[in-house]
């Protein structure tokens, strides 16, 4: 079981010559969103860990 939520996060990288600077397409990454010390934290997940982490967070919600 794992407390948190798996979400897709879209953001700009800040590089002036990047495609995201013109608003074409933002960078998308899958993250684990969780709270620690009353602050929201994000942990970037590698592609092979997305599904196991998603299942672990689902088990936490069901147990709660």
Distances (CA, A) of 29 to 17, 35, 41, 59, 61: 20, 19, 14, 23, 23
Calculate the CA dihedral of residues 25, 29, 34, 40 and round it to 10 degrees: -40
Say how far apart CA 38 and CA 60 lie, in whole Å: 19
Dihedral of CA 45/49/51/52: which sign? Answer: negative
Model confidence pLDDT, tens digit, residues 35-60: 999 999 999 999 999 999 999 999 99
Could you report the per-residue pLDDT of 22-41, keeping only the tens digit for each?
Answer: 877 889 999 999 999 999 99
- Overall pTM surpassing 0.85 (yes/no): no
The terminus-to-terminus CA distance of the chain in angstroms comes to 10
């Amino acid at each position: 079981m794992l407390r948190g939520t798996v979400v897709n996060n879209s953001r700009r990288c800040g590089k002036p010559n990047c495609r995201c600077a013109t608003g074409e397409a933002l960078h998308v990454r899958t993250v684990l969103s969780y709270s620690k010390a009353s602050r929201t934290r994000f942990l970037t997940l590698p592609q092979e860990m997305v599904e196991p982490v998603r299942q672990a967070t689902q088990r936490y919600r069901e147990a709660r």
